[in-house]
Amino acid sequence: MPWRRILLTLAVILPLVAVLAFGFSRDPRYIASPLIGRPAPPFTVTLFDGKTLSLADLRGKVVFLNFWASWCPPCRAEARDLEAVWQRYRDKNIVFLGIDIQDTEKEAFAFLKEFQITYPNGRDASGKISIDYGVWGIPETFFIDPEGRITYKHVGGLEYPIIVAKLDEARRGLISAKEGKGAYQSIR
């Protein structure tokens, strides 16, 4: 009889503990994206140099789309690696595009200057593009294949080797099942 009672108690408590353990082992801020494998939402952005750029014009190229802000430490951490990859692969049918969000123009300029960033960058003042891409924590990066599909999404800082690997996957149109995750900063 007492054994039955112990089993009964465990049967009630263990699922509760399991639910708690599951809850604690998750990042409550993490939002899984439904966009991977889908066509990248189209947009047109005004670059810092005054030109405008449409995603549609980049069809046929691998696009590295990076959302950032000057106040975000992980964005600073990855900035040099991004520029290094861009320098290395810029003439291999790959386009890097930075979208600055929730930022002032002055600070964004200072950021670009500090890290000597040469790939095109534009500002999304209204937040429309970032909402269109479901952005919630920066830096957030989307890899888009030549057919305009999102093949991979990474929330948080990126490093040289993974960028190169994922660019290659995007070039071949390989879609990653899982999102990548590094140190990120929630947007405001």
78 interacts with another protein by CB under 8 A = yes
176 interacts with another protein by CB under 8 A = no
Q: Compute the least distance from the CB of residue 6 to another protein, in Å.
A: 6
Nearest in space to 52 (alpha carbons), one of 44, 60, 41, 62: 44
Q: Compute the least distance from the CB of residue 108 to another protein, in Å.
A: 15
* Site string (86-115) toward another protein, x via CB under 8 A: ----------------x-------------
For the chain, the DSSP string reads -HHHHHHHHHHHHHHHHHHHHHHHTS-TT----S-TTSBPPP-EEEBTTS-EEEGGGGTTSEEEEEEE-TT-HHHHHHHHHHHHHHHHHTTSSEEEEEEEES--HHHHHHHHHHTT--S-EEEESSSHHHHHTT--EESEEEEE-TTSBEEEEEES---HHHHHHHHHHHHTTPPPSS-EE-S-EE--
Adjacent-strand bridge partners of 99: 67, 122
Q: Which of 4, 26, 106, 113 binds another protein (CB under 8 A)?
A: 26
- From residue 170, alpha-carbon distances to 62, 129, 138 in Å are 6, 21, 21
Window 155 to 174, contacts with another protein (CB under 8 A): 156-157, 159-160
Q: Which is nearer to another protein, 5 or 178 (CB)?
A: 5
Q: Which of 49, 113, 126, 177 binds another protein (CB under 8 A)?
A: 126
Q: Which is nearer to another protein, 29 or 51 (CB)?
A: 29
Q: Compute the least distance from the CB of residue 53 to another protein, in Å.
A: 21
Q: Which of 37, 42, 127, 173 binds another protein (CB under 8 A)?
A: 127
Q: Which of 4, 11, 25, 113 binds another protein (CB under 8 A)?
A: 25
Instruction: State the number of binding residues for another protein (CB under 8 A).
Output: 49
What residue ranges bind another protein (CB under 8 A)? Answer: 2, 5-6, 10, 17, 21, 24-35, 73-74, 76-81, 84, 102, 126-128, 130-134, 136, 156-157, 159-160, 181-188
